[in-house]
Structure 1
């Protein structure tokens, strides 16, 4: 497992005190998925411990193509790569020269990648709950239905124009990961080989 515990995806929950309003965020999520085949964006990620202290920050880029293809590139502070092609997921730690290979369905079944890039209906894997409007963003909470999920829930914030701005995830250890997206480009043309990965020479390859 990589230093970031392979977290994709990710707001401090104690700061989320939304005023409930009409159901809009769920519609924004469904519309975003229905109208979006590919996405390219920059992201910044902050990991908080169970006491809400920031313990790690990172930045990078992400791309996905529905169904079931994605590429997350962590550029700082460590170079890491997560690639999924619908069959396998590769986790590559550049500094360790280590690759972990997992079966696709096991690796992302109830993860943020499944929520955004999955091929199944959203409600198949998640219970969706409206959280209302906070700081001009529409918020929802997605609770994984699978008891084997490593996340307790995922929260997502959309602009009133229906663009994804934030994702916040709490894992089973009480840690929260906040992802902020910028320069999000809907439906760009992405090369097919973007979602394939060949381990570098002499890399330590671990299959799970």
Structure 2
């Protein structure tokens, strides 16, 4: 395994938008709640009650060079700070956090990018899931008009280095159904979440990752 300290990977569709797919993890599942609860109340209940979750996702890009590109796969997470985001189609890609480091593995490029969990999550939407402080410390939360049969909440980062403008989360029947993240380049990631299971038992090794032999390891210090 060769270890490097600066990124060398070539640009390719579906890569380099770590915070966009993290948004899919952020609100991966919510406990069943009264339908009258608004999106803000559901989000606060999620932080308090959901410790692990699994599910399926489909992510589509709109705007920019990636318009129309779609990825699908499955995810799982365990608070605080552990998650697994497995892209199955159109090509394999794996992102894993053990709570200390986040590993982004591309089998086609035979390369792994390693970041500290603090650096990768930072003020991204994932802070809604993994953060230990009050949501309002990092985000302005704004109720949005109901549309498409969903109740919506908008989270705007207070910091200037979040890498995205805002993320909108749509809820129905006490669960998040759709996320729409507008990034700093004017691209929107639309993520549909399905088959969500709240608080399942997840094996500890689900969130472990060891780079395969012969794979380049790029450390983003």
TM-score range, shorter chain: 0.7 to 0.9
Structure 1-normalised TM-score? Answer: 0.87
* TM-fit CA distance, 1:25: 0.8
* TM-fit CA distance, 1:121: 2.3
Which residue among 170, 175, 184 is the counterpart of 2:182?
Answer: 170
Deviation by residue 1:167-194 (Cα, 9 ceiling, x = unmatched): 1111110000000001000001101111
Q: Give the secondary-structure state (helix, strand or coil) at the position aligned to 1:105.
A: helix
- Count of residues paired in the alignment: 195
Q: 1:110 aligned to 2:126? A: no
- 2-side partners of 1:195 and 1:120: how far apart? 23
- 2-side partners of 1:123 and 1:67: how far apart? 18
| Structure 2 equivalent of residue 32 of structure 1 | 46
**Any runs of at least 4 consecutive aligned residues in structure 1 with deviations exceeding 3 A, and if so which?**
none
- 2-side partners of 1:139 and 1:165: how far apart? 10
Describe the shift of the 1:86–1:124 C-alpha distance in structure 2 as closer, same or farther (beyond 3 A). farther
Q: 1:204 aligned to 2:216? A: yes
* TM-fit CA distance, 1:117: 3.1
Q: After the TM superposition, which residues 58-97 of structure 1 pair with which residues of structure 2 at under 5 Å, given as runs?
A: 58-97=71-110
* Consecutive unaligned residues in structure 1, runs of 5 or more: 11-21
CA RMSD of aligned residues (A): 1.9
Q: After the TM superposition, which residues 48-59 of structure 1 pair with which residues of structure 2 at under 5 Å, given as runs?
A: 48-50=62-64, 54-59=67-72
The answer as to whether partners of 1:144 and 1:153 remain within 8 angstroms in 2 is yes
Structure 2-normalised TM-score? Answer: 0.82
Q: Give the secondary-structure state (helix, strand or coil) at the position aligned to 1:178.
A: strand
